[in-house]
Structure formats: C-alpha cells, structure tokens
Amino acid sequence: MRTLLITGPGGGGRTTAAAATALAAARSGVRTLVLSADRTDTLGAVLGTPTGPVPVQAAEGLTAWRPDAAAGFRDDLAGFQERASSVLDLLGASRLDPEEVTPLPGAEELTLLRALRDAALSDRHDLLVVDLPPVPQALALLSLPEELRRYLRRLLPPERQAARALRPVLGRLAGIPMPSEWLYETAARWDLELAAVEAVVADPATVVRLVAEPGPAGADAVRGAVLGLALHGLRADRVLAARVLPDSAADSWLAGPVAQQRKTLEEWRETYEVSEVAHLGRDPRGGEDLAALGVPGAPTGPSRVDWPVEDRLADDGVLVWHIPLPGAIRDELDLVRRGDELVLTVGAFRRIVPLPSALRRCTVAGAALRESELRVRFAPDPDLWPRTR
C-alpha cells in the first residue's frame, strides 16, 4: 500500500487537500483510506460525512477515519497500571479510573502514529492519505519514532537484558519486587511498535505532498518545509497551490493578490512540481466541491532522498557523505560528531543521524555546503580501519 502524507503551513487548506486527493484517488478506482487526528471533525465537514473513531465510508471506494486520542490514552494507561501493579501496590499508589483520565499533550500525535501503523499494515486499501498537522509539528511527528527508539536504546540497552536471570535473586536479597522484567518487556514492545511506524515513514512508497497558498508567506513556508523534509531524507512530490484566484479576477479589485499569486507560482515551477487548486469562492463542502478543485489523486513516484557515501580514498584519502539540504544557509548550519552519530542542525530543524557503518571507523576531516548539498569528509581512523598490505 502507498502512503501519502499531506502537510503545509497552518491555514493552508491541508485537510481540504487531503480529502480532495483521497476522493480523486477513490474515483479513479484506488481503494483509499483518509486519516486525520484533529479533535474537531474538519475532515467530516469537508467530506460531508461525519467521521470518528469508527471508520466510515465517505464515498464509493473511500473510507474516512478519525481515531479517538482519549480512548487510546485511557487504554494505554489501563495497560500500564496492570503491568506495573506490583510496584504501584508497593508504593501505596491508588489506581486511576479510566473515566477520569483526559489525554495529555501529545496524545493526538501518538494516536495518529499508531493509526498510521495499523492502516499501513492493513490490506484493505491501496492508498493511505494522512492529513498531518502543520509543517513544524508534522516534522516533529515523523521524527518521533526514530527519536523515541534512540532514547529507549540509551536508557534500556538491549544487551543489559542478559542479566534477567539474576533479577529474582536480587529481588529476594533486596526484599522488594524488581520492576526490570516488565520494564524491559514494555520497552521491547514499544520499540517494535515504533519500528513499524518508522518503517512506514522510511518506505520508498511513502510520499509527502505540501499544501500552501501562493504568496510571500506561503513561499517562505514551502522553503522551510522542503529543507525540514530534506533533513529527514524526504522530499515533496509536488506542491499544491491552494486557493488560486482565476485570471479573470485580475481585472477587479483582486488584481494585486492575483499578481502576487502568479509571481509565486512562477518561482515555484522553477523548482517544484506544482498543481493549482482552484479558489471556489467558498469553503468546499461535499464530493462535488472537492472534485471541482482539480486536485491530483494517487502519487506515482518515490519521495525518499538518498544520502550517498562517495569513495574518494584512492584520490583524496577520504570518504564523502553527500546530504542534500535545498535552501540551507551556511550561517544556520551546524554539525557535531557524537560517537557513532552526527548531530545536524539546519535553521530551526535538528536531527541526530546514525553514521553509516563505514564512516564509524573514520574521523571527520571537514565539511562544506555546496550547491544545496552538505558534503562531510571522513578520513579513515588508522586505529580502526583495516590495514592493507
């Protein structure tokens, strides 16, 4: 199954674009599921069909789903209390009633990730369209599985599980129950679930699509989004230019906005694949309005970006890691080697990237930003690199 992630600046029409894309794909014969995690039913309002925690058929071949973050949070808490019952009893802690629990900040994001994983593993649909939050939150959401798995490995290294046989003895000696067993089991289950979500995001069949209204603010948002996506090895397959005014409006009091939109569209077409989404003069509601927008349906190409390692050992004695960063500014770029990881900061975006195996045996010999690409040079460490005779 293909996955299409739709994001853009706040107020740019992401949900409308997601609904229109899903409907266009369904009408072309592709079994489609559109997924949203908004607390308010904006998706249902656009589709003309209420959506909620139970998937509903919004049109022929189109299913809409808006999972309930509160219910998922209550289920997770109940499961945690059950697994940690011995520790809670030891501490004299009273159990929380699921009915008194309200979701904490971030519950919607975790619910969306879980729903994304479940939907991607299903064989009921050919295309999954995901209505993501605005760009900054979307990038944080997409990087969350990778970051959480990294934290789990640091806090609970898998190799320490070899001492499991000693825990009952230690527990008897200390006179208290040892929580390590269920803790490691919980960590292993979380790692498995996060790995499944991470695999969906990293799948070559997963495509990102940006939605923005053409204009100065939209242009800035698209530039930032493209850079943020590139830092996570992704690129947008196209930009949906939302609420594009008709040419006929150029002869009215809207002449200024029309000219501004046309200028931004010309700039976008020099760099991106652009699809114009018509301005209907009203908020789209229902299938006919969504079809009138002219939004393209299912994507065809991949959106993963390769970060190749170039072997220049024979000529220059280095390996060069090529990291595409379109729109990056040298003064806003920072990188730090930390063990087997590279900490990359580009403007407002930051990512900790594990080094490829060959580069872990090298030291950083320098870096340069050229032609929108970061090129990091690595020299073999003589203490770690195999010697040739």
Query: What confidence category does residue 178 fall into, taking pLDDT thresholds of 50, 70 and 90?
Result: very low
Is residue 262's pLDDT more than 90? yes
Query: What confidence category does residue 264 fall into, taking pLDDT thresholds of 50, 70 and 90?
Result: very high
Is residue 195's pLDDT more than 80? yes
Q: Which two tokens stand for residue 85?
A: 């019952």
**pLDDT for the residue numbered 59:** 92
**pLDDT for the residue numbered 78:** 56
Question: Residue 106 to residues 100, 120, 151, 237, 267: CA-CA distances in angstroms?
Answer: 18, 21, 17, 28, 36
Reply yes or no on domain 1-305 having CATH 3.40.50.300.
yes
Mean pLDDT of 347-369: 92
Q: Which two tokens stand for residue 350?
A: 């930051």
DSSP 214: S
Domain residues of the chain, as ranges? 1-305, 309-380
**pLDDT for the residue numbered 114:** 83
* Helix count and strand count (H, E) for the chain: 12, 15
CA dihedral 226, 262, 11, 56 (to 10 degrees): -90
Least confident of 23-27, 78-82, 260-264: 78-82
**pLDDT for the residue numbered 176:** 46
pLDDT in tens, 295-326: 988 887 666 788 999 999 999 999 999 999 99
Is residue 374's pLDDT more than 70? yes
* Calpha distance 113→197 (Å, rounded): 7
Q: Is 335 in contact with 342 (CB distance < 8 Å)?
A: yes
pLDDT in tens, 206-247: 889 999 999 999 999 999 999 999 998 888 889 999 999 888
Q: Which two tokens stand for residue 146?
A: 């990778």
Is residue 168's pLDDT more than 60? no
Least confident of 30-34, 107-111, 140-144: 107-111
1-305 and 309-380 have identical folds: no
Is residue 5's pLDDT more than 70? yes
More confident residue, 384 or 339: 339
Of 243, 205, 209, 204, nearest to 226 by C-alpha is 209
Which single residue is written with the structure tokens 């498995």? 192
Reply yes or no on domain 309-380 having CATH 3.40.50.300.
no
- CA 350 vs. chain centroid, Å, equals 14
* Calpha distance 270→107 (Å, rounded): 39
Query: Please, how many CA atoms are within 13 Å of residue 178, restricted to the half-sphere of its CB?
Result: 15
Least confident of 81-85, 164-168, 332-336: 164-168
**pLDDT for the residue numbered 304:** 74
pLDDT in tens, 55-113: 999 999 999 999 876 565 555 555 655 655 555 555 555 555 656 555 555 667 778 88
